[in-house]
Amino acid sequence: MISVDELNDRLIDLAFAEDIGDGDHTTLCCIPEGETGESLLLIKEDGILAGVRVAKEVFSRFDKDLSVEVLKDDGSEVGRGDIVMSVKGRVRSLLQTERLMLNIMQRMSGIATMTHKYQQALLDAGTKTHVLDTRKTTPGMRMLEKEAVRIGGGMNHRIGLFDMILLKDNHIDFCGGVHNAVSKAKEYCKSKHLDLKIECEVRDFKELQEALKEGCDRIMFDNFTPEDTRKAVEIVAGRAETESSGGITFDTMLPYAKAGVDFISFGALTHSVKGLDMSFKAAGSDKLIIK
């Protein structure tokens, strides 16, 4: 299996290839080859910072002579006007790495900021419910987006189809019911010598009882009301982890958390997030002063 580092390297290489093509002709036409300078990463709105580690990889992979000084680390609370890092070296390299670095950091910071908002609200309400992401990620950027969720204080549901078994409604219907789906999953893990958690989605209390009987590690309540969620949590009584899913938003999540579920999953953390506003400006530019 491809490692996380290999996936990230491939993403960076592909991103440079699609952006630069046969050459950054704008930069090449007006910036002398040997000219050096400094650029600063400027934050333009409040949020949680994420992507610093990856940004350093972007700079190093393009030009190992670029010197990066990090002033604020991943997970830091940042505000309008903060300087996150200073990068010194060839001006051509600063200009050609700017957009890729910003694309990654803006998206990761946006995800971390939204995740932090959700998780902090659950903590402030006195619940012990954890925020989970989903597989609704940008193709090719899943590892970075899930890293951003962790930086923001959330948890990863699963990375992909390979590190957990999640029996959803279609699996269950094609198998002919919860019993068949779970029993086949257990047989498969045993035959393949796999130690994977098995989660089962349930749509009603009948399926919930079946999932409990089969001994799942986690049970997902799909589109349950908060009232039914509370009842379901009481029925489970700690015999499995519990998760709420299905159209739950920031504005509607508290009743589910107060019903006692262990996790709530939100596709919006990665598929509907707004990037955190920031820019990469030449040191000394009057644009570094935010009015």
- Which residues have a catalytic role annotated? 99, 136, 168, 201, 222
Distance in angstroms (rounded) separating the CA atoms of residues 239 and 154: 23
d(CA 95, CA 28): 10
Query: Do residues 246 and 226 make contact, with C-beta atoms less than 8 angstroms apart?
Result: no
Bridge partners of residue 190, in order along the sequence: none
CB 74 within 8 A of CB 116: no
Helix (H) or strand (E) holding 70: strand 67-70
Residue 105, classified by CB atoms within 10 Å of its CB into exposed (0-12), middle (13-18) or buried (19+), is buried
Helix (H) or strand (E) segment spanning residue 31: none
Cα radius of gyration (the chain): 23
Helix H or strand E encompassing 85: strand 83-90
